Amino acid sequence: MSPRTKSFADKLTARNEKARQLKKLKFKKPQGTRIIAVANQKGGVGKTTSVVNLAAALADNGLEVLVIDSDPQGNASTALGAPHGIGTADTYTVLLGETSIEDAVVTNPEFPSLKVVPATIDLAGAEMELPDAERREYLLRDALEEYVEKHHPHYVFIDCPPSLGLLTLNACVAAEEVLIPMQAEYYALEGLSQLQRSINGISEAFNEKLHISAILMTMLDRRTRLGKDVEREVREHFSDQVLQTAIPRNITVSEAPSYSQTVISYDRKGLGALAYKEAAYELNKRSFE
């Protein structure tokens, strides 16, 4: 066997062993609903990808999960197989008070315990049409409280748009936690500090329970000096907030949404799926620390 073939065989063996170990992990049900806004004002950092795959990994392990797509691009809706054409009941109609979350939810075809409130292109008008609404910062919180009181999901993930406007504000007022996906590049460090200040401001003005509960490093390539340096610096600056698990650059993570799937169902034993399963377990474990 050539060294290259042996190296591939060793990696495959290690991956299969990791898959077996992850399959043995026991996910626990949190005492109450954990509502997590997934936010980063910078686009292309793996925000939506992290929402759908963490949600799928938790649902795959027996937990009830709701994803609220609050990004007008609707990418989370696509990845989770939720129709989001014009006229669909969605996050926008929920914010307007025209529909309840219960009326807007769609069940994911792969994981029955995973529900989705889709986003249509109509949501793009929210920033202009909702500023004069009464209690405009609390529109999502009010709708979500009604749903949670009746259905008691274990997790709610809110996929925020890549901005710090009214939609992200509503998500942060509705949530208690913020999870920040962060791409392993130096510019991301500056954006992270700005986002931290914004979240602190929202906490002081609207929601004292809001806090950054986790930072997830994405698209990390530890083979490069840049990847290693950025990871080290992030862990030094933000310490325990950073999940030990990091998501590597992986082609199947990018491919899965084009088939309206998460990588959890698309490539169960791939590096991307295993990393998101491990991150989901770590996030779940933090409920009990």
Confidence label for 130 from pLDDT (cuts 50, 70 and 90): confident
| pLDDT tens figures, 91-118 | 999 999 999 999 999 999 999 999 999 9
Mean pLDDT, residues 213-231 taken together: 88
CATH number of the 29-288 domain: 3.40.50.300
pLDDT given for residue 17 in this prediction: 67
Nearest to 58 by CA among 253, 285, 289: 285
% the chain with pLDDT above 70: 91
pLDDT given for residue 12 in this prediction: 62
| pLDDT tens figures, 227-284 | 888 888 888 888 889 999 999 989 999 899 889 899 999 999 899 999 999 999 999 9
Q: Which structure tokens are listed for 14?
A: 């290690």
Whether the pTM exceeds 0.75: the reply is: yes
Q: Does the pLDDT of residue 46 top 80, yes or no? A: yes
Residue 287 makes CB contacts below 8 A (sequence gap 6+) with 28, 30, 31, 34
Rounded CA Rg of the chain: 19
